[in-house]
């Protein structure tokens, strides 16, 4: 029965003079998501809110789901639009709304009214009181509880009148396109897709890079990363995934460097390549799924040694999260089931039994000198043979 939705946003409200830019970006993102589903929707901005009006048939669940994937939207209410807001009609329509929405009417309620039309015959408190009375008369099973009602019935009188009672949580954050672009190091694990989601949530478009090591990592492992990128793109918009063939570099490090330093040196080359790709694609930073102390390569010492290899800012949104918190987020955004599929990512094969947990940057740099002979050539080859896969869910 709903033909319209009211979308609220939070942080954009405090953006002062630039606010319209954020609102425009938000409307654009809402249109982008709704374009992907059946139906024809009009997205309009009005006094600190956004209304979406359906122009023809659509699937309710699908529409709510699409809007819940838009960063910047804090909540969504399906609303009934009452074109003729005259008091007689309003009373009737609000009653009809309750009748349709609540087949069982044995609950407590409270009417909340807002009016931006200051010429309306009643003030907001009067609308609440009057409509409360009208509803009690029409549905004697209902009762009013102004302190802790089971249902809150919102009535807004603007140029038209609106009635609604349900509120769905939105994704929150900032609209995509309001904050530049960053390069996500995306592996097949649990953490990095969540990290990408978190940064995209702040309005940042993302690109991704995956270091593939065939035949040590299978085609299926790569497919899993593509799937993860796809799920993240359900929120983050189009993602270009750069697949780098890392085998040769990895083998070379394995041959030449001390095995306990393998992971850290590999990670440093990943950062270097990611940084070059980031630069080529207008990205302003790198994103990883690291969290302090999670594994040997993520101690404070290891992170410092990793950072030493690149100059771009490295964003690590999960830095203070426990594994369990990351798992919960990955379940929420829908990447968990894919992440736990048992296909090796390239790091699991080349892990040393006793990796260094307190690497010294000077020692690592020294080990890397042994790679001087062939590394430049290998890096160039890896960059020249990058495969780009575009995903957009
Ligand atoms: P994840 O669950 O994201 O794989 P993890 O706990 O397995 O993380 P590591 O394997 O130590 O941690 O990797 C740390 C970070 O380095 C990852 O979060 C990811 O950003 C990046 N990374 C690791 N391996 C790869 C890879 N093969 N391709 C791209 N990025 C990678
Ligand atoms: Mg991993």
Mean pLDDT of 10-36: 88
Of ligand 1's listed atoms, the one at least distance from the Cα of 244 is 28
pLDDT of 355: 87
Name the residue ranges covered by the structural domains of the chain.
4-169, 181-391
Position 269 scores a pLDDT of 98
CA–CA separation, 186 and 208 (whole Å)? 6
Average pLDDT over all residues of the chain: 94
Closest-approaching ligand to the CA atom of 193: 1
The number of angstroms, rounded, from the C-alpha of 139 to the middle of its chain's C-alpha atoms is: 42
In this structure, the number of other CB atoms found within 10 A of the CB of residue 213 comes to: 24
For residue 314, give the H/E element and its range. Answer: strand 314-315
pLDDT digits (tens, 9 = 90+) for 106-136: 999 999 999 988 999 999 999 999 999 999 9
217 lines ligand 1 (CB under 6 A): no
Which among 361, 374, 329, 347 is positioned nearest to 186, based on CA atoms?
Answer: 347
The Cα 288–Cα 223 span in angstroms is 20
Q: What is the pLDDT of residue 349?
A: 60
Token output for 105:
């009417």
- Window from 80-84, 316-320, 351-355, 375-379 with minimum mean pLDDT: 351-355
CATH superfamily of 181-391: HUPs (3.40.50.620)
345 lines ligand 1 (CB under 6 A): yes
Cα–Cα distances in angstroms (integers) from residue 92 to residues 134, 142, 153, in the given order? 9, 17, 15
Does pLDDT of 373 surpass 80?
A: yes
- Tell me the pLDDT tens digit for each residue of 202-256: 999 999 999 999 988 899 999 999 999 999 999 999 999 999 999 999 999 999 9
In short, whether 185's Cβ falls inside 6 Å of ligand 1 is yes
SS3 content of the chain, % helix, strand, coil (to 5): 45, 20, 35
Please tell me the distance from the alpha carbon of residue 171 to that of residue 26, in angstroms, as a whole number: 12
Task: Select from 350, 149, 393 the least CA-distant residue to 248.
Answer: 350
Index of the ligand 1 atom closest to the CA of residue 348: 10
> 344 pLDDT exceeds 80?
no
Distance from C-alpha of 10 to C-alpha of 22, rounded to nearest angstrom:
11
Into which CATH architecture does domain 4-169 fall?
Answer: 2-Layer Sandwich (3.30)
Under a CB-based contact definition with an 8 Å cutoff, are residues 350 and 254 in contact? yes
pLDDT of 145 strictly over 80: yes
Distance 254 CA to ligand 1 centre (A): 18
The per-type count for the chain, helices as H runs and strands as E runs, is 14, 15
Cα(193) to ligand 1 centroid in Å equals 10
Query: Residue 176 has which token pair?
Result: 């995509």
* Residues comprising the chain, all counted: 393
* Rounded-to-integer distance, Cα 83 and Cα 158, Å: 10
Contact indicator for 290, 196 with CB cutoff of 8 Å: no
The strand pair at 75-82 and 168-169 is best described as: antiparallel
* pTM score: 0.93
**Domain 4-169 identical in fold to domain 181-391:** no
How would residue 347 be classed by pLDDT, with cut points 50, 70 and 90?
low
In this structure, of 12-16, 55-59, 120-124, the range with the lowest mean pLDDT score is 12-16
């Amino acid at each position: 029965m709903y033909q319209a939705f009211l979308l609220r946003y939070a942080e954009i409200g405090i953006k002062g003079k630039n606010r319209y830019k954020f609102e425009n970006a938000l409307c654009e993102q809402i249109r982008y998501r709704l374009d992907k589903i059946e139906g024809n929707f009009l997205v309009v901005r009005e006094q600190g809110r956004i209304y979406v009006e359906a122009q023809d048939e659509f699937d309710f669940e699908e529409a709510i789901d699409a809007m819940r994937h838009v960063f910047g939207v804090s909540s969504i209410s399906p609303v009934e639009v009452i074109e003729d807001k005259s008091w007689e009609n309003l009373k009737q329509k609000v009653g009809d709304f309750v009748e349709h929405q609540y087949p069982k009417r044995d609950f407590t309620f409270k009417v909340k009214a807002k009016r931006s039309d200051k010429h309306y015959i009643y003030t907001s408190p009067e609308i609440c009181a009057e409509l409360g009375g009208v509803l009690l008369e029409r549905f004697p099973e209902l009762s009013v509880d102004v302190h802790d009602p089971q249902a809150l019935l919102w009535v807004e009188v603007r140029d038209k009148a609106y009635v609604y009672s349900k509120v769905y949580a939105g994704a929150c954050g900032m609209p995509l396109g309001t904050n530049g672009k960053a390069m996500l190091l995306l592996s097949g694990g649990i953490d990095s897709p969540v990290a990408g989601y978190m940064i995209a949530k702040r309005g940042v478009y993302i690109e991704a890079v995956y270091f593939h090591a065939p035949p040590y990592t299978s085609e299926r492992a790569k497919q899993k990363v593509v799937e993860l990128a796809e799920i993240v793109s359900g929120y983050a918009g189009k993602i270009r995934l750069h697949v780098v063939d890392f085998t040769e570099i990895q083998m070379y490090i394995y041959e030449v460097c001390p095995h306990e330093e393998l992971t850290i040196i590999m990670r440093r080359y990943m950062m270097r390549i990611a940084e070059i790709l980031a630069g080529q694609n207008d990205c302003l930073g790198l994103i990883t799924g690291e969290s302090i102390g999670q594994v040997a390569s993520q101690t404070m010492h290891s992170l410092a040694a990793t950072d030493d290899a690149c100059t771009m800012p490295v964003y690590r949104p999960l830095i203070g999260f426990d594994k369990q918190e990351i798992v919960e987020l990955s379940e929420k955004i829908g990447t968990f089931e894919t992440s736990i599929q048992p296909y090796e990512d390239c790091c699991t094969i080349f892990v040393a039994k006793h990796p260094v947990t307190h690497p010294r940057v000077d020692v690592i740099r020294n080990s890397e000198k042994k790679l001087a002979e062939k590394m430049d050539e290998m890096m160039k080859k890896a960059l020249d043979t990058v495969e780009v896969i575009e995903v957009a869910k």
